Amino acid sequence: MTAMSTDFTLSTLLPGAVPAMPVASAPPVMQLENVSVFYGNYEAVRGTTMAVREHQITALIGPSGCGKSTVLRSLNRMNDLVSGARVAGKITFHGQDLYAPDVDPIQVRRRIGMVFQKPNPFPKSIYENVAYGLKINGIKDNMDDRVEQALRGAALWDEVKNKLKTSGLALSGGQQQRLCIARAIAVKPEVILMDEPCSALDPIATGKIEDLMHDLAGTYTIVIVTHNMQQAARVSHHTAFFTAELDEAGVRHGRLVEFNDTGRIFTNPADKRTEDYITGRFG
Amino acid sequence: MTVLDKSAQLTRKDRGRHADRLFWALCVSAGFAVLVILALILITMVKQAYPAFSAEFFTSSTWIPNDPDGDGPAKPVYGTLAFLYGTLVVSAIAVVVAVPVSIGIALFLTELAPRRVRTAIVTLIDLLAAVPSVVFGLWGILVVAPAMTPVYNWLHEVLGGVPVLGALFGEPRSSGRSFMTAGLILAIMIVPIITSIAREVFATVPDSDKQAAWALGATRWEMIKGAVLPHSFGGVVGAVILGLGRAMGETIAVALVIGSSVQIAANLFEGGYALPAIIVDQWGESTGDFTAALIGMGVVLFVITVVVNLIARFVVRRAEIRMRGASA
Amino acid sequence: MTTTATRPAAAAPVPADLRRSALPLRRRLTDGFSKSLMGLALLIALIPLGLVIFHVASRGLALISWEFLIEDIPNSARRAGGGMGPAVAGTLVITGAAAAMAIPLGVLGAIYLNEYGKQNALARLIRTMSDVMTGVPSVVMGLFIYVSYVLVVKEQSGFAAALALGCLMLPVIIRSSEEMLRLVPDELRQASAALGARRWKTTVSVVLPAAISGIVSGVMLAIARAAGETAPVVLVAGTIFTSNWSLDGANTTLAAQIFKNAGEPFVAAQDRAWGAALTLMLIVLVFTIAARLISSRFAIKER
């Protein structure tokens, strides 16, 4: 990765972005330009501008209701499934507008996978869970190898290799979540979105997933939503801090306060609000 | 209690307590009414039908209810096999036709239709359920049966030569009143029942499972196939059994369009008879053993439908429990 | 870095093709095909509904008039003219009496299930058996009343028909009312109890009023169903050609008359059947719409 780092600064990449701090970094895979997300007439998040860089982990943090999950779900068009949801501004994936009229959300989600807050394996066998995405994508050859690879990739293979036929629901919570990660990486997406993937898990299972995320970053680009600041500090390269603010009319909107290297955010934040939040002086 | 003398007003010795008891008793007895009625149905009917139950009642398909030659040697024969056969055939046609339609509608409503469209369609399906069965019967005998005759003729010409199908799609009757017509009318009548239960079942599929499928880049159909259907199998089976039970007990519409011939015929375009249909049809002219035989068929019908219903409830409940286990 | 070699191909900086047309044809076709099948299923169900309504309306409207609703039924099916007066009267009297019997019993039973029995063994048994009773064919209910009532009093009557319809309505009312009582928030019961109200007082003055719109709507639907039931009436009510507004003595209903006349080969009889069908449909429709209005107007907003 070091080979790829250049001296881009955020401000040269994205005119109008928050403080001009240097971000030692890989090229961006996804860019958000002035993105607002609406539910009906309610603007849940306004004016988000940031970039998601290749093979790095980007964390979205902030208090509840700040819109971090909403932003995450707009990245692979999961918000399309909520009636009345709408995105303004521009989200690009390798320069291609994700919300262009001829873009198919199904193709988007195939390339930008997702892992959810609550482990949600299908009520099928472990094997079938991993194979599901491959099957719908018409991949039929070397199924066993592909399933094994995905399970190895999710650091689950050794624990389940002898019981691939048992139900995915029979696993522990942490194992279920890794199964969900295996299911997501089996279709070889480029980006994996993780929506508070550890919030339902105990500390040991959380540690395993965090280790796994480091390994996965070699191959995939990861965006993770978390409200555990230590987790963001431990795993991510870049951190975006969101908060919820009242506008002139007294309506709450989520908005991006600061986006920078994780180290910078946690040691030398540019914004007072970020500092208050990470030092626990929030609210 | 004597120790509590000082707080006499806190003891329960006032009129209100009796009112409470009385009200409770009233409610319990109302609940009991259901059990009493069901028990009475079984006891009184079995008692009345007892003389009719013989070996031939269950094994013969010969139905000669009135003494054929006055006081001669021939005796009436009450064999009910043809009616049982008709009931099964007609219900089977109804289920085969109604199940895919109902599941399609239920999926359309839960997974495809926008909210506003959904409300409108649910109202229409409710309306379909509200049409009295006798009205379907009237429509069936005067409109559908004659209109279907040419269709049956065409099907017979096309499929009549095929080995197995040929037997099912034989020479149609000119009136169109047949197993097939009865089955089709029944299918329309059980669609709302199966649809509404299937909808409930589909609605209980956890959203997280659907999201997981979406996030893998599934199309809508792949999402349904991967996340919705596997979760719903048990519940849908229950819905189908329930629809089957309703089809078997449906009387009037079938009585009007089934063609009223006592026979066991493979040809679905032939006329036949069903258990409930023969009861209303011949009730007016029956006496003595004849009446007992009709009541006996009522008992058979009662037992079948109760068993089918219990199985359906059991299947649905087990599916529900499994679902809860899965989402916990 | 070694990982670079094993990166997925899509990670190359070439823009991935995200258009719908890039989805394999097979998947697009399956998806489209399955969606059209769902739409087709809907159509298959709605076409018969439309046709039934159309035929009943068009054939019935030619017949229906004030005279048709009050005049006697001709005692020969062949004869044209006459009306369905006795059937209209019988439908109202019999269904009304059935409702008068089934509603109090059904609501009290529902109160037992939801307020007292809850999940105990008896309540669960009653609940299951009500479900089973809902599935008992109406013709069986007719036979039951014949055996247990008509044979005892030795007379077919409107009252016997009312008993049979009442038995059919009972489980429906119990289950729908219980459902509505369950929606009444527990806070209401506790608030009333905290004021020192007795259980029955709480139930009658707080819980029932809170659930009443739902209960009424369920009852309306049960009445609509019962008004269209045919088999029990055919079995236990006998038949008449002049109006009988009492529960004693033989009677008839619209549904029974439709059944009887539909099977006749005479056009005059068939016409009367269509007229009666339209009348019955209108009665059923009024109750169904009333049920919907009541339940949507006064629905309990949340659990």
Per-residue pLDDT tens digits for A86-115: 999 999 999 889 998 888 888 888 899 999
Whole-angstrom Cα distance, residue C79 to residue C76? 6
Whole-angstrom Cα distance, residue A159 to residue A162? 8
Check whether domain A2-278 has CATH 3.90.230.10, yes or no: no
Q: Does B325 touch chain C (CB under 8 A)?
A: no
Helices (H) and strands (E) in chain B, counts: 14, 2
User: Is residue B61 in a domain?
Assistant: yes
The mean pLDDT of A204-233, rounded to a whole number, is 91
- B34 closest CB neighbour out of C107, C109, C198: C109
pLDDT band per the 50, 70, 90 thresholds, residue A209 = very high
- Give me the interface pTM, i.e. the ipTM: 0.89
Q: Does A238 touch chain B (CB under 8 A)?
A: no
Closest-CA residue of B relative to C32 is: B221
* Higher-pLDDT residue of C52, B11: C52
For an interface test with B, which of A122, A135, A172 has the most B Cβ atoms less than 10 Å from its Cβ? A122
Cβ-based neighbours of A15, under 8 Å, separated by 6 or more: none
Whole-angstrom Cα distance, residue C224 to residue B293? 32
For an interface test with C, which of A99, A102, A216 has the most C Cβ atoms less than 10 Å from its Cβ? A102
pLDDT of residue C245: 92
pLDDT of residue B32: 93
Share of chain A above pLDDT 90, in %: 49
Chain A, window 84-113: residues with a beta carbon less than 8 angstroms from a chain B beta carbon = 106-111, 113
| Nearest to C86, CA basis, from C70, C63, C64, C68 | C70
pLDDT of residue A58: 95
Check pLDDT > 70 for residue C301: no
In which domain, by residue range, is B66 found?
52-327
Assess contact for B228 and B207: CB atoms under 8 A: no
Q: Which helix (H) or strand (E) holds A50?
A: strand A42-53
Ramachandran region, residue B271 (left: φ > 0; alpha: ψ -120 to 50; beta: rest): beta
CB pairs under 8 A between B and C: 271
In the numeric block, which tokens belong to residue B186? 């029944």
User: Is residue B315 in a domain?
Assistant: yes
- C8 closest CB neighbour out of A1, A108, A190: A190
pLDDT band per the 50, 70, 90 thresholds, residue C150 = very high
How far is A110 from chain C, CA to nearest CA, in Å?
9
User: Is residue B2 in a domain?
Assistant: no
pLDDT of residue C52: 96
| Nearest to C22, CA basis, from B196, B214, A106, B63 | A106
Q: Do B309 and C174 touch (CB under 8 A)?
A: no
Check pLDDT > 60 for residue C303: no
pTM of the full structure: 0.84
Per-residue pLDDT tens digits for C195-219: 878 888 889 988 998 899 899 999 9
Cβ-based neighbours of C282, under 8 Å, separated by 6 or more: none
**DSSP assigned state of A103:** B
Closest-CA residue of C relative to B30 is: C109
User: Is residue B221 in a domain?
Assistant: yes
Burial of B299 (0-12, 13-18, 19+ CB in 10 A): buried
**DSSP assigned state of A39:** E
User: Is residue B47 in a domain?
Assistant: no
Cβ-based neighbours of B107, under 8 Å, separated by 6 or more: B202, B224, B228, C38
Q: How far apart are the first and last CA of chain C?
A: 58
Closest-CA residue of A relative to C5 is: A219
Q: Do A107 and C10 touch (CB under 8 A)?
A: no
Helix or strand or coil: residue C158? helix
C partners (3+ CB pairs within 8 A) are A, B
| Number of domains comprising chain B | 1
User: Is residue B187 in a domain?
Assistant: yes
Residues of chain B with pLDDT under 50: 1-8, 327-328
Per-residue pLDDT tens digits for A34-50: 999 999 889 999 889 99
pLDDT of residue B70: 63
Burial of C46 (0-12, 13-18, 19+ CB in 10 A): middle
Q: Which helix (H) or strand (E) holds C257?
A: helix C254-262
pLDDT of residue B293: 92
Q: What is the DSSP secondary-structure string of B154-180?
A: HHHHHHTTSHHHHHHT-PPPTT--SHH
Share of chain A above pLDDT 70, in %: 90
Q: Does A108 touch chain C (CB under 8 A)?
A: yes
Burial of A95 (0-12, 13-18, 19+ CB in 10 A): exposed
Domain of B62, CATH number, reads 1.10.3720.10
pLDDT band per the 50, 70, 90 thresholds, residue C10 = very low
In the numeric block, which tokens belong to residue C208? 């029932």
User: Is residue B169 in a domain?
Assistant: yes
User: Is residue B257 in a domain?
Assistant: yes
Per-residue pLDDT tens digits for B207-241: 888 999 999 989 999 999 888 998 888 889 999 99
Mean pLDDT of chain A, nearest integer: 85
Chain B, window 65-104: residues with a beta carbon less than 8 angstroms from a chain C beta carbon = 100-104
